[in-house]
Chains A and B, each alone.
Chain A
Amino acid sequence: MSDDAADVQRVLAGDVDAYAALVDRYYDRCARFAIRMLGNRDDAEDALQATFLRAYRALNRYQERDRFSAWLYRILVNQCRSIAARRAHRERVFVREEALLLNAPDRAVTWSGEDEEFVQRVLNELDPLLREAFLLKYIEEMSYEEMSALTGVGVSALKMRVKRACDRLRERWERIKND
């Protein structure tokens, strides 16, 4: 039995602290997805709260033979979608110059938090469905099959979305480079 499945069993037997262990294991990773997907920490935090609460309530429906992370991410992806649909997208204004980007792939530097925000701005430009597919593929590093099970979208449709997301990013690079 995996650590996750063992912890789930403990929670169902009444040990709430075992859920804290699960949260510890997955919170930051889920936070990373939520922040990248939703573009700001407030919405991400709401998504995380809702996700882990729902997972807790639905825990007796989790089956040991499934990967807990896949099961959890299913909930997370849906929560992010709900929140994105309900709230207006808030654009953040970044001060960082785009010129930095021109040197980016060639330099090995320590990236500050401001650059993290720059990447977020780039991601925010992607259509939400494209962004979601891109994040699942390249940040969560899932297979297309896993993504399909998670999102309920077919593999070919997902591949198309990931490709489009990459195309958009590449177009952005071309635009900036030629300015």
Chain B
Amino acid sequence: MIDSEQHPYVEWIAREARRPVVTDPVARERLMAAIRAEPAPTTRVPFWRRVVEPRALLLSPATMGLLAAGLVGIGVVAGGLAMNRDGRSVDQPRVGVAPQLPVSDTVVRFVLVAPQAETVSLVGDFNGWDSTRTPMARAASNGVWTVTLPLSVGRHVYSFLVDGKWSVDPNAPLAPDDGFGHANSVRIVRKGSAL
């Protein structure tokens, strides 16, 4: 049985395709001209640029924890450690400026009234449908469970897990059941939405 990967015809095609191609030097010059016109990529983003033009940073777990604990909105948290996407921490000047949220995220609050419940968590496409990621906190007095977190702009599908049972958000539009036996809820997040 001949291994098709060593068939002489296939080998020939591969050998031919491997031959170097001749490229147009003009195209390369055009490329370098475009490169030179670009702003230089640097390891650090200067502070002033961060303020004027917030970059798409993912928030560190510490920062997200702060937000979830109820310190909502920009301008409340001072300093704080931001991380760029490689997980390297990027120094931020220690002035009274909150960690800049990415341009495409908005902080959103979810609320569920469930006085009898013992545990409630928010589960959805923004946390990989992992019910351990976003537990909700109960206000002692009135059985109201809340959590606040940054969500990217767009459409999000989610549900609440209340004492092990899936529960839609009674005040949100329904999304049809995805084939797993439970309908879900939809949250639309818009740029610059209020909390």
Contacts and interface: CB of A to CB of B under 8 A. Distances in A.
Let me know if chains A and B touch directly in the complex, using CB atoms closer than 8 Å.
yes
Interface of A: 11-12, 14, 16, 19-20, 23, 27-28, 31-32, 35-36, 41, 45, 48-49, 52-53, 56-61, 63, 104-105, 111, 115-116, 119, 122-123, 134-135, 138-139, 162-163, 166-167, 169-170, 172-173
Interface of B: 4-5, 7-14, 16-21, 23-24, 27-28, 30-32, 34-36, 38, 40-43, 84-86
B10 A28 contact: no
Contacts of A57: 38, 41
Contact of B17 (A45, A104, A139, A173): A139
B28 A123 contact: no
Contacts of B19: 111, 116
Given A16-B35, A28-B23, A45-B27, A105 B41 contact: no
A169 B13 contact: yes
20 contacts: A12-B41, A14-B40, A16-B35, A19-B35, A23-B31, A23-B35, A27-B23, A27-B28, A28-B20, A57-B41, A58-B41, A61-B85, A105-B9, A116-B16, A119-B16, A123-B13, A123-B17, A139-B18, A169-B13, A170-B7
Contacts of B24: 41, 45
A56 to B, nearest CB: 5
A57 B40 CA distance: 8
A111 B27 contact: no
Contacts of B36: 16
Contacts of A139: 14, 17-18
A61 B13 contact: no
B32 A20 contact: yes
Contact of B10 (A14, A23, A166): A166
A61 B86 contact: yes
Contacts of A60: 41-43
A122 B15 CA distance: 13
Nearest to B39: A57
B9 to A, nearest CB: 4
Contacts of A20: 32, 35
A52 B28 CA distance: 10
B188 to A, nearest CB: 27
A32 B17 CA distance: 8
Contacts of A123: 13, 17
A114 B35 CA distance: 34
Nearest to B9: A173
B147 to A, nearest CB: 31
Contacts of A138: 14, 17-18
Contacts of A134: 14
